[in-house]
Structure 1
Amino acid sequence: MDASLQASTQGSTVEEWTRALAESTGAPGGGAGTGVMLAVAASLTSMVAGYTDREDGCDEVGAIRARAQALRREALALADDDAAASQAFGAAFRLDPGPERDRTVHAASLDAAASSAVLGERAAGSIDDLAWLAAHGNPALVADVVVAFGALRAAIAGARANVSFDLASLRSAGRTLEEIREEHPDLWSTVTRLDDALARIDALAAEIDHRAAPTDAV
């Protein structure tokens, strides 16, 4: 097996994993990169929470940090899951045309879409914690919050694109877009939910940009 296919977020250095990502194998690919971006966002959320004082016995900061640390671990595992789904997805399309290929493409497309949807939903679910830190976190780390928003946005945008693409790939198995929407309403609606999450991140980031970059030209 190609060494790039053996790379994982759990057992590879950053250099090894990104070298595997740079190969034309698709495993890891953009979906796995989405998971790593979510892990970066979660890591920065944890860091900022750790630098934020707890006031009046408030446990919110501690809870945010615990959730972020758990999300970091989950995001890396999901990145590896997506790499495996991506490998199966590519293999399905290399099969010879016929009923077996259609069935395999259908299953692989759904698995890939579901993997990306989980990543996107986890990312969207972490917006509240980062929004809290944007408003109440240590002001000295506001630039780190902005970077976290950027990584989180990249994760959500990546998940949205992959869910949409993977669902559309079902057309290769003989489905129309209307049939796909009716057969998989939850996955289909994920795209809209992630659009809403992107809009929210953009609004939150804009609200603190003047604090993070006060030297920007006006």
Structure 2
Amino acid sequence: MSDVEEITTQRSTVDEWTEGLAQSTGSPGGGAGAGVMLGIAASLTSMVAGYTEADPERRDRLSAILTRAETLRQSALHLADDDATASRAFGAVFKLDQGPERDEAIREAAIGAAQTSAELGDHAVAAIEDLSWLADHGKRAVIADVVVAFGALRAAVAGARTNASFDLATLKSSGSTLEEIHAQHPRLWNSVETLTTAIERIDACTASIDHRAAPTHADGST
């Protein structure tokens, strides 16, 4: 596609979308990439849940996981497109002439971008529990796909955390101090800490099952 604004997760092929991501425009950028990674994690969660045969006691739980994963897949892709839009607006404000109006535009764009990243992060954090359940109760033959899903989920969380943090720090460009940013936007500030904790949780989950997905080492030992 010739016009980067036409590139969306809904209308573009994977080739077109990644070609757009490769351009020096930032729309889509890393935040949108995090949204797509979340969509991949959700899709793999659905796949593993679909392969899993649950006993009657776990059937309802498995059905709920499938429903949540499909909803998340769709939401994640919409959030990726929202981030691309926010990124485009974010970049545009820095082209404005110096002055109070530019400072205010930077503040609004930075907050909007941080909110988009925090929302994506919230969705990603909520997905950890279902994937952890599948790590314990899912079909053993697809445990490698669970590990890949955790990898995609980690990328989504890390991307959301980094972008939210960067967006908040950008408020310094409009004259705010970090102390003022913390005081004025506590929820967004705290979301960064929540996402940091989530990364640690994902790493622990992955480490606990990696030996099942990759039981041999490169040197041939077990």
For the aligned pair, the TM-score class normalised by the smaller chain equals: over 0.9
| 2:156 aligned partner | 155
Deviation digits for residues 37-60 of structure 1 (CA, Å, limit 9, x no counterpart): 000000000000000002024211
| 1:108 aligned partner | 109
Cα offset, 1:94, TM superposition: 1.1
Q: Aligned partners of 1:210, 1:14: CA distance in 2, in Å?
A: 32
Amino acid across the alignment from 1:152:
L
Gaps in structure 2 of 5+ consecutive residues:
none
Deviation digits for residues 6-42 of structure 1 (CA, Å, limit 9, x no counterpart): 2000000000000000001111000100100000000
| 2:136 aligned partner | 135
| 1:197 aligned partner | 198
Q: Aligned partners of 1:57, 1:169: CA distance in 2, in Å?
A: 50
| 2:32 aligned partner | 32
Q: Aligned partners of 2:7, 2:217: CA distance in 1, in Å?
A: 40
Contact preservation (8 Å) 1:4, 1:21: no
Please, what TM-score do these two structures have when normalized by structure 2?
0.96
Larger deviation, residues 137-146 vs 55-64:
55-64
Matches within 5 A, 1:3-22: 3-22=3-22
Cα offset, 1:5, TM superposition: 2.2
Residue identity (%): 61
Q: Aligned partners of 2:137, 2:87: CA distance in 1, in Å?
A: 39
Cα offset, 1:96, TM superposition: 1.1
Q: Aligned partners of 1:81, 1:205: CA distance in 2, in Å?
A: 29
Matched residue pairs, number?
218
Please, what TM-score do these two structures have when normalized by structure 1?
0.98
Is the partner of 1:214 in helix, strand or coil?
Answer: coil
Amino acid across the alignment from 1:198:
I
Is the partner of 2:56 in helix, strand or coil?
Answer: coil
Deviation digits for residues 139-172 of structure 1 (CA, Å, limit 9, x no counterpart): 0000000000000000000000000000000001
Amino acid across the alignment from 1:60:
R
Gaps in structure 1 of 5+ consecutive residues:
none
